[in-house]
């Protein structure tokens, strides 16, 4: 392989303030270098710093092999088989340390193992996109660029490192990541990269369903879920992953799904509430489709189902949406079905106020009420119901705090033998 001479950008050019860099990440780099290894900040952390955003993670790439990293840091553990790396722990914080890797550049085989060690240049050339292929040296405060990633960041362009068709075949999850960066940063996709994305979208089904589900859940938490799922549908990938949802959106382009996601994004960006539980986010994504299915069944049977039937139906709809590619954890499916079914406890199918608006003593009820809040923001006719239940919930909590809660039912005495 011919060596590529990197471009070096000084502090005067990139203007990354050292105060923005996590002190523990700097400490890990310094300690690795004192042990005789190369080490740099790499990937999304460098990208976000250049985009004037606060990085969620600070990842490090080094010439030290995983076992050597563990020998340097007593607080390090090794994880992964397909991609072996070290986690250096500082309390709850984790600094991820990966070894320079090589290989895969020209192979069109799906990557199943990725533990071939290499140089820093080889490590950059096997990464996904140019904007993620930048090194940062905290000692010299320099950006090291082998792949024109700095220029692409300035031009706001998304481009694969190397042949895009090869890169997407090697790891189809990169297509999901491409759409993710489009949604988060509003970048343009370089033409050959976009052609490969549209030509190879069916390759996504060769990926690990668990990895893709994690990417989808992270995007629901990102504050950019609405543009992400819009692009996922627009580029035809939603049809491969969630065909029932894609069909529903084709038939119902005015569906409130994107409005609900937009409201969630707004609250996440404003940090109005603590991080949302993933079950709440999933229930918001699925509820409009479930609501239409349930109402159609009730009209067909000419009767309103009771809450137990609604919960069972919710589980059935969840299976229909996620099968056959995904498999939701049983606990997640149970909570999501409860949250969706609870909407008809709060507002019965006939739209009439419930006879009793006593909040159930259930730990997931506040999430069900929050889902109703999202719905009432985009459909103001639901606001009176949301206000009613919010007041009832507040009064119930006030009684508990004052020690005035209603006594629980007396337990039945066991009969003596």
**Residues 132 and 202 placed together within one structural domain of the fold:** no
pLDDT at 400 (0 to 100): 66
Same-domain pairing of 23 and 150: yes
Q: How far is CA 205 from the centre of its chain?
A: 18
Per-residue pLDDT band for 394 (boundaries 50, 70, 90) equals: confident
- Residue tagged 């999202």 (tokens): 374
* pLDDT interval class at 407 (50, 70, 90): very low
pLDDT band at 8 (very low <50, low <70, confident <90, very high): very high
Q: Is residue 271 part of a domain?
A: no
Which of 263, 287, 307 is a domain's end point? Answer: 263
324-354, pLDDT tens digit by residue?
Answer: 899 999 999 999 999 999 999 999 988 777 7
The sheet carrying 142-145 orders its strands as 7-9, 142-145, 134-137, 39-42, 59-62, 93-99, 85-90, 76-79
Q: Which single residue is written with the structure tokens 């999430």?
A: 367
Q: 115 pLDDT exceeds 70? A: no
pLDDT for 405 equals 56
Residue 198 has pLDDT above 80, yes or no: yes
Average pLDDT, the chain: 90
pLDDT of residue 1 exceeding 80: no
Q: Would residue 408 count as lying in a domain?
A: no
Residues 6+ apart with CB under 8 A from 95: 22, 24, 25, 28, 58, 59, 60, 87, 88
Q: What is the per-residue DSSP string for 306-318?
A: PHHHHHHHHHHHH
Q: Which residues contact 191 (CB under 8 A, 6 or more apart)?
A: none
**Does one domain contain both 2 and 117?**
yes
Final residue belonging to a domain, choices 154, 188, 210: 154
245 lies in the same domain as 296: no
Interval 271-319: pLDDT, tens: 877 789 999 999 999 999 999 999 999 999 888 888 889 999 999 999 9
Query: For the chain, what is the largest distance between any 2 Cα atoms, rounded to a whole number of angstroms?
Result: 88
Res. 157: pLDDT tops 90: yes
Mean pLDDT, range 119-128, rounded to an integer: 93
**Crossing angle (nearest 10°) for helices 243-251 and 278-301:** 60
Per-residue model confidence (pLDDT) at position 372: 97
Instruction: Give me the pLDDT at residue 413, please.
Output: 54
Whether the per-residue pLDDT at 409 is higher than 70: the answer is: no
pLDDT of 192 higher than 80: yes
On the question of pLDDT at 357 being above 90, the answer is no
Report the pLDDT value the prediction gives residue 9, as an integer from 0 to 100: 97
pLDDT of residue 283: 97
Query: Which residue segment(s) compose the domain that 146 sits in?
Result: 1-154
Cα–chain-centroid distance for residue 24?
25
Q: Average pLDDT of 43-56?
A: 94
Greater confidence (123 vs 303) lies with 123
3-state secondary structure 20-69: HCCHHHHHHHHHHHHCCCCEEEECHHHHHHHCCCCCCCCEEEECCCHHHH
Q: What is residue 102's predicted lDDT score, i.e. its pLDDT?
A: 86
Judge contact between 343 and 385, C-beta under 8 A.
no
Do residue 114 and residue 2 come from a single domain?
yes
Residue entry with tokens 């970048």: 187
Q: What's the confidence (pLDDT) of residue 6?
A: 94
Annotated catalytic residues are: 57, 59, 128
Same-domain check for residues 45 and 106: yes
Which of 263, 286, 309 represents a domain boundary (last residue)? 263
Q: What is the mean pLDDT of residues 260-273?
A: 90
On whether residue 410 sits in a domain, the answer given is no
178 shares a domain with 146: no
DSSP strand pairing (188-189 vs 59-62): unpaired
| Same domain, residue pair 108 and 124 | yes
Return the closest-CA partner of residue 105 out of 146, 66, 54: 146
pTM, whole model, 2 decimals? Answer: 0.88
Judgement on whether residues 17 and 106 belong to the same structural domain of the protein: yes
Count of structural domains within the chain:
3
Token readout for 69 is: 């990293």
């Amino acid at each position: 392989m011919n060596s590529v001479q990197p471009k070096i950008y000084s502090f005067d050019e990139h203007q990354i303030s050292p105060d923005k860099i996590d002190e523990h990440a700097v400490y890990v780099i310094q300690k690795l270098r004192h042990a005789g290894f190369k080490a740099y900040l790499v990937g999304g952390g460098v990208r976000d710093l250049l985009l004037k955003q606060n990085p969620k993670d600070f990842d490090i790439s080094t010439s030290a092999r995983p076992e050597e990293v563990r020998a340097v840091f007593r607080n390090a553990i090794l994880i992964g088989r397909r991609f072996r790396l070290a986690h250096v722990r500082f309390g709850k914080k984790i600094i991820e340390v990966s070894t320079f890797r090589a290989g895969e550049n020209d192979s069109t085989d799906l990557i199943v193992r990725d533990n071939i060690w290499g140089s820093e240049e080889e490590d950059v050339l096997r990464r996904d996109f140019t904007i993620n292929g930048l090194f940062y040296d905290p000692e010299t405060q320099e950006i090291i660029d082998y792949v024109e990633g700095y220029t692409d960041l300035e031009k706001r362009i998304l481009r694969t490192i190397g042949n895009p068709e090869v890169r997407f075949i090697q790891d189809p999850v990169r297509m999901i990541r491409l759409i993710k960066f489009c949604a988060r940063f509003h970048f343009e996709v370089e033409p050959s990269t976009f052609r490969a994305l549209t030509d190879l979208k069916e390759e996504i089904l060769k990926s690990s369903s668990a990895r893709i589900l994690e990417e989808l859940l992270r995007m629901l938490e990102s504050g950019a879920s609405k543009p992400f799922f819009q692009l996922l549908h627009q580029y035809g990938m939603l049809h491969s992953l969630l065909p029932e949802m894609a069909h529903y959106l084709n038939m119902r382009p005015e569906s409130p799904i994107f409005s609900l996601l937009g409201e969630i994004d707004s609250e996440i960006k404003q940090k109005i509430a603590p991080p949302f539980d993933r079950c709440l986010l999933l229930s918001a994504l699925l509820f409009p489709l479930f609501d239409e299915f349930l109402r159609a069944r009730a009209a067909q049977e000419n009767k309103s189902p009771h809450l137990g039937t609604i919960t069972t139906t919710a589980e059935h709809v969840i299976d229909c949406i996620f099968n056959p590619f995904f498999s939701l954890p049983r606990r997640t499916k149970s909570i999501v079905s409860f949250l969706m079914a609870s909407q008809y406890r709060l507002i019965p199918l006939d739209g009439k106020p419930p006879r009793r608006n006593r909040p159930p003593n259930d730990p997931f009820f506040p999430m069900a009420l929050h889902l109703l809040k999202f719905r009432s923001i985009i459909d103001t006719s639901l606001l009176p119901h949301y206000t009613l239940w919010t007041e009832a919930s507040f009064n119930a909590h006030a009684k508990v705090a004052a020690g005035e809660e209603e006594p629980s039912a007396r337990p039945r005495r066991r009969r003596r033998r």
